[in-house]
Amino acid sequence: MSEQVREQLGRYGIWRPAGMLTPGLAALLEELGFGTLWVGSSPPGDLDLVESLLAATTRLTLATSIVNMWQDDARVVAASFHRVERHYPGRFVLGVGAGHREATQEYARPFETLANYTDALLDGGVPRERLVLAALGPRVLRLAAERTAGAIPYLVTPQYTRQAREVLGPGPVLAPEQKVVLDTDPERARRLGRARVSRPYLGLVNYTSNLRRLGWSEADLSDGGSDALVDALAAWGTGEQVAARLDEHLAAGADHVCAQVLTEGDTDPSENYRELAAALGL
């Protein structure tokens, strides 16, 4: 089962917020050889955006990271999944999760709610091998392993990936996200990385709790994050240096790594994607 989704995702993907995606960008990522485009920042459960990106491509896998369980009824999401599957069979992976408590007024009993939501999707006919969960802590990692194809952790390091693989065991898919900055200037790269790491993530308890579990101190989590923390969460350097950092996740037990390429403001990321694809040998 998991082998199917591993092959579908490929080794490397790109994570980008839903509001910053276009059909042209999806077509470019397919041309460059990336296996999957992850539609980030809680895309709507109607999956209309996913369908438009699939229409612009012929073989690229689309995946959500994530459909937020507090925003969309599982029955609606399951029906949307089936519509997409009819039109583009075998090219979509549904990633769902609980988001974070600071953004959701209804946030309560998230583990139980996520377990029930997962069951509702499965009961609605979403195949287990096409469903993955946003997971950080051990309980949700185990839930992902028991009921879905695997886990898609966000804002993590290779050290976390190694620990997550131990929790998941050898079978389930593990596809972490890694922020990257294609810039060799430490000051510029850290400024950009810190801006994206500190707000909002260092103010969200699920991420800070996970970082504390990994051994990061209160000093590391304060004042926008220490240089060491920023460097760990937003890898920077040449294309080859960044590619090596992505491969650290694979060496630690990941099956797939989704790179979130950070750029200044509305800068067109196309050249960054070209540089990264070349460094990864795609």
Residue 105 predicted with pLDDT over 60: no
Residue 268 predicted with pLDDT over 70: yes
pTM of the model: 0.96
Structure tokens at 120: 């509702």
DSSP, residue by residue, 134-179? ---SHHHHHHHHHHSSEE---S--HHHHHHHHHHH-SSSEE--EEE
Please tell me the predicted confidence (pLDDT) of residue 265.
86
Query: What is the sign of the dihedral through the CA atoms of 80, 101, 120 and 176?
Result: positive
Q: Where are the domains of the chain?
A: 2-176+238-280
Cβ atoms 68, 107 nearer than 8 A: no
pLDDT (tens digit, 9 = 90+) per residue, 211-255? 999 999 999 999 999 999 999 999 999 999 999 999 999 999 999
CATH architecture of 2-176+238-280: Alpha-Beta Barrel (3.20)
Cβ atoms 87, 56 nearer than 8 A: no
pLDDT (tens digit, 9 = 90+) per residue, 47-96? 999 999 999 999 999 999 999 999 999 999 999 999 999 999 999 999 99
Please tell me the predicted confidence (pLDDT) of residue 99.
77
